Amino acid sequence: NVEDVQESVVVPATPFDNNRSKMWEKSFFDDDSLFGGSSESESDDLSDEQDANLPVPDDEEEDVEDHIQSVGEATEELTGLSIDSGVEAASAEDIDALLKELSISDDGAFSKGKDNVSTNPLELAKRHSQLAQESSRKSWADTRLLHIEDFDSYIANPAMSFPFTLDGFQQQAVARIERSESIFVAAHTSAGKTVCAEYAVALCRQHCTRAVYTSPIKALSNQKFRDFSVKFGAENVGLITGDMQVNADDSTVLIMTTEILRSMLYRGADMVRDIEWVIFDEVHYINDTERGVVWEEVIIMLPPYVNMIFLSATTPNTIDFSDWIGRTKRKPIHVIRTNYRPVPLSHNLWAGLKLHKIMEGKSGFLEKGYNEAAKALIPPSATKPGKDQKKQPSSSRATGSKQLAWQQQGSKQNWMSLVKFLDREGLTPSVIFSFSKKKCEEIAHMLRSLDLNTSVENSAVHAFTTQTVARLSPVDATLPQVLTVCEMVKRGIGVHHGGLLPILKEMVEILFSRNLIKVLFATETFAMGVNMPCRCVVFNSIRKHDGIQFRVLEPGEYTQMAGRAGRRGLDKVGTVIMCCFGEVPPPMPILKQMLTGSSTRLSSQFRLTYNMILNLLRVEDMSVEGMIKRSFSEFATQRALTANEYPKLLSRGVKTLAKLDEEFKEDARNRIGAEDLEDYFRVATRLKDLNGELLSYIMVSVGGDGGGALSPGRVVLVTAARKHGCVRAPAIILRPPMVAGSGLGRSSGGSSPRPAVCIVLLPESNIPSSDESANKASKPGTIGHVGARTHRNYAILEIEFDDILFVSSKKHKIDPAVVLKEDSVKVSGGLSSRLNALSTAAPVTRRDEFDAFAGMKPKGKSSDSSSLGKSASSAEEQAVEAIVGYLIEAEKREADSSLPVLDIGDCVKQGTDLLDFRQQCRNVSNLVMTLRGFSSHRHPNLEKYYSSLERKETLRSRVITLRHLLSNESLQLFPDFLQRKAVLLSSGYIDANETVCTKGRVACEVNTCEELIVTEMVFEGVLNDLDPAEVVAALSALVFQEKNSDDDFDTELPEQLVMCCRRMQTIAVNLGQLQKDHGLEVDPKDFCDSLLKFGLVHVVYEWALGVPFSSICDLTLVQEGSIVRCITRLDELCREVRNCARVVGNPTLYRKMEAASMAIKRDIVFASSLYVT
């Protein structure tokens, strides 16, 4: 079935080919590694031979870490670089080209007339033909298949053999494992992914090494322990959970949760040295909001010699995830994907007491089946005309008028009919998913009159339940839940949810796997944590509550649960049923999306915790910044930034900047009369930026022409040396800024205003051209046109807000329609950027080159209009000549510093921040006065000097920006890290040198709950005066997680225990306030309420005093399973607090925690697992 695996390139290689490393040359690892050195490769195109010789940092990570803290430091560092005397100075055109390379606009194209600096590295990734798609660089995720003709002869000495023929994807996976290559296997539920894990374990047994099998939840760990014990022998399988260790030292394969493996890696456990393979099962659990970060931590921290196997359901971004793993671990990850399902699924709607097929296998959605289901739900009376027809539907909506008709829940009669149908049609064993613990039990109790087992099966169930209950004490054996479940399973009906006692859940699972439970009512956790297929899967509803709101199942969630249907080798097809108990079936679009939509993407849930920060500060091999950088959340950014192109581009920028700095210094002796040029540039830049902000404000506030500030005829001074060759050049506005899609200057969608169109007086150094072709190059009245009047050149240009030096109060009466042709084709901004004052008036690109309709005559108009043309041309020439005269006059007045400045504040009459606005307007006037005081302002060669300085400083800004993007400060979580580190420093967990103090070492011992609260409790002595029973009762508030209304303290509790709980609340609120003070978005009260839940304080206190479990259940409404889970986690927390006491040297607390742990470890709460013993 190789063709079913994936479409890929076949790699002809043998499993022991010593030359296979040629597929992954060293240069590939050096080039593409997230943390390796940067070397040249053929895919990196440099602009010329000179660029090829530029120095590239040997260690990219060191280059990234060494970012510039400020502009001043950047100047000092960058100007101190040595310069190759043999390299010629770069021209202005070369520098402009480099600036464009360093600047990408938001849409990925070059900025139009303006070099916008994008601080988003993902936009930088679009440069030079999109690296990921079009370059020859390889991906760390390898999807190529091995060429396997005969699998039996392909692997001569297999580590283990299988009693069945392996599928294509299984053969590929086993072959890769035999070659000691890491793999990612993405396949449907029940496709046989476990074969990969089993072969890796067998290989470790052959190599005398160890394998670690990680699972997301404890229940799956226990089940795998039983399965592997049968397969490999009990002596070769070990288990580590929060409350037990079995054969942990001598086993070949060690089964544990991912959290335990993380703790081992942080501690540097000796066992890690022996690991050859780590198997990550249910990798899609990385999407879990609370625990998904653990998977990323473990993957990042695993030693490089450890090979990895990832088993996951099908996900759309498997390649990206594997690419991230490969880049992080510096090794290729071989992706093996298959959509092959051994047992195809048939999806049906249950309506009108029968099934209606809506999809089968890979076929599309069957609308015919849906329509039949909808028709079957219509009451018979609804099709007959009658008096009572309108009253009929009301009875079926008894559950609530606000509920939609298709969301109705089934009655007892509905469920009896469905279960009898399943039993009659041979569709058992069946799993019925209901997304509520309470609903599972309600439906099961509706069927108490049904018996689905035969007498032989009843006897087998009775024997097993008796054997299970015998493990309990006589008192616990009479618990209501125990009696109810045992009676229920004898009739072939079971329930499975988080509120069930652990030993009862295991009993139900084992009976279900033996086909002694015919119908099982379960919550979603059964699909996630138990690998048990069935004949049929039924959905009570396709809506669930995700902790925030009710929503329809995602396609990935539906596939995960529906995939349990179909037992390989037993069923030809797996049946999936969606119940329709309302008047109509679920809407067709919802069903189509759920059945055929894309599965859930693997997404990063990485976040920083104090425990992680403290642990990483203690180890030498990994920094917190390194952990953030290597996380899946930063993968796309780091992949873009660490391509060789960016460090090389930065190197080019640094070297060019050093050359420009040196040239500028050498040219200082020639700038006579412009010695204050740098100060002049800084003031001018500040003035332009301030004017840009003010003009943008009035355009939004007032609209139109900005209250007259930018109306046609207004004189402004323009400084745009690089773009237009203009410095303090006078200009007159022909068309005010406009907002796209609106003629009123306002933007409904928040879009930025279109630039103003001005006629600008070019400097005197721009000599009019006598060439006829120059005058005919562009048509008068179009944007980009350059002309000459009264021996001076002028240009019609688009002027951005921040190109306006200041707005003059001088205004002339002009007719813009005569000078500017609004219906002319707009020439791109790149055209105007070529109008450099350092060159003569070069011919401007013809409109004909851009306009496909150029030369076509307007329909219905005579071609003979020479007289009209001459008249219009004459009027235009006169208008332009008058405007140029106004501009020359303004130039002379500005030379005398007498051109009046408009107070923009007068253009705005109202506003919420009007006072601040007027203050900024006064600052404009002050800056204009300062600017006019510089000698450079009147220097005849100002344009030349200013242009070179602007290029240099713009390049410096771009280099600093790119250095920042390549530094740690650009990391998304870096501000969060600094804030959390400040919290730890102010609280005494670390010192000024980031050395972990005693408090920090104590916090590292706590993994079960909020580490800071426990640490503060230990150091404040909150637990010192309590009895062991009171200690464990108080700590229960940290591990109990369910919402409960019993948070008020019972009057029967000891006063000392209540006082301790109050102090815990105070500690939590203070910690929340401390985090808020350091900039973290934490509400102190919410922080306390989310971490401290006192609903089981009384229950745990009585349990620690020896009260029977049946009695403590009467003290709360919390279900038995939740109580057991809380006490089990509490035992783990007791051990952690005991270790905290050892670190601080408190023997009294150490012995007290041991006593507390012993007080709760008894009876049904710690009954041995059926899977383990």
What is the pLDDT, as a whole number, of residue 457? 94
* Angle formed by the axes of helices 1028-1039 and 1120-1144, nearest 10°: 110
Both tokens assigned to 359:
């999809």
- Provide the phi-psi class of 930: left if phi over 0, else alpha when psi is between -120 and 50, else beta: alpha
pLDDT in tens, 990-1001: 999 999 999 999
The 3-state DSSP class for residue 337 equals strand
DSSP 8-state secondary structure symbol assigned to residue 848: G
SS3 638: helix
Is 395 in contact with 575 (CB distance < 8 Å)?
Answer: no
In angstroms, the CA 726 to CA 1033 distance is: 77
Q: For every residue of 522-583, which 3-state class applies, written as one string?
A: ECCHHHHHCCCCECEEEECCCEEECCCCEEECCHHHHHHHHCCECCCCCCCCEEEEEECCCC
Angle between helices 367-376 and 588-596 (to 10 degrees): 140
Q: Return d(Cα 45, Cα 41) in angstroms, integer.
A: 9
Total-model pTM: 0.76
Cα–Cα distances (Å) from 525 to 137, 153, 221, 435, 495, in that order, read 42, 42, 14, 9, 12
870: burial class by Cβ within 10 Å (0-12, 13-18, 19+)?
exposed
Q: How far apart are CA 919 and CA 314, in angstroms?
A: 60
What are the backbone angles phi and psi of residue 1138, rounded to the nearest 5°? -60, -40
Residue with tokens 């105007």: 832
Position 112 scores a pLDDT of: 33
Phi-psi region of 855 (alpha: psi -120 to 50; beta: other; left: phi over 0): left
End-to-end CA distance of the chain: 40
Helices and strands counted in the chain (H then E): 46, 26
CA distance 945 to 952: 11
Is the Cα torsion angle 456, 459, 461, 463 positive or negative in sign?
A: negative
Q: Please enumerate in sequence order all residues whose Cβ is within 8 A of that of 1144, keeping only pairs 6 or more positions apart, or say none.
A: 998, 1002, 1018, 1019
Residues of the chain with pLDDT under 50: 1-88, 104-137, 387-403, 740-751, 772-776, 824-857, 860-869
The DSSP code sequence of 461-524 is HHHHHHHHHTTS-TTGGG-HHHHHHHHHHHTTEEEE-TTS-HHHHHHHHHHHHTT--SEEEE-T
Prior bond to 502 cis, omega within 30? no
Could you tell me if 922 and 712 are in contact, meaning their C-beta atoms sit under 8 angstroms apart?
no
Q: Which pLDDT belongs to residue 812?
A: 92
Q: How many CA atoms lie within 13 A of 360 on its CB side?
A: 10
Q: Where are the beta strands (DSSP E) in 928-1054?
A: none
165 sits in the region (left: phi over 0; alpha: psi -120 to 50; else beta) called beta
What is the reported pLDDT for 919? 84
432, with CB counted inside 10 A (0-12, 13-18, 19+), is: buried
Coil, strand, or helix at residue 984? helix
- Determine the Cα–Cα distance for residues 572 and 892; give it in Å rounded to an integer: 94
- The three-state secondary structure class of 276 is strand
Give dist(CA 205, CA 236) in Å, integer.
Answer: 8
Residue 116: name the closest of 128, 130, 99, 135 by CA: 99
Q: Which residues pair with 898 in a beta bridge?
A: none
In order of 895, 925, 928, 945, the CA distances from 900 in angstroms are: 12, 10, 10, 26
What's the gap between Cα 79 and its chain centre?
39
What the block records as the tokens of 282 is 């249910």
> 């760990």: which residue's tokens?
221
H helices present in 179-257, as ranges: 194-207, 218-232
Q: How many residues does the chain have?
A: 1173
Tens digit of pLDDT for each residue in 416-443? 999 999 999 999 999 999 988 889 999 9
Task: Check residue 545 and give its pLDDT.
Answer: 83
The two structure tokens encoding residue 896: 């005398």
| Widest distance between CA atoms in the chain | 116
Alpha-carbon torsion 1025, 1029, 1030, 1032, what sign?
A: positive
Q: Return the structure tokens found at 324.
A: 């991230």
CA pair distance 375, 791, nearest whole angstrom: 87
Tokens of residue 187, six digits: 């396949």
- Of 48, 103, 226, the closest CA to residue 722 belongs to 103
Q: Report CA dihedral (706, 708, 714, 715) to the nearest 10 degrees.
A: -70
Q: What pairing do the DSSP bridges indicate for beta strands 726-735 and 714-720?
A: antiparallel
Number of C-beta neighbours around residue 289 at 10 A:
10
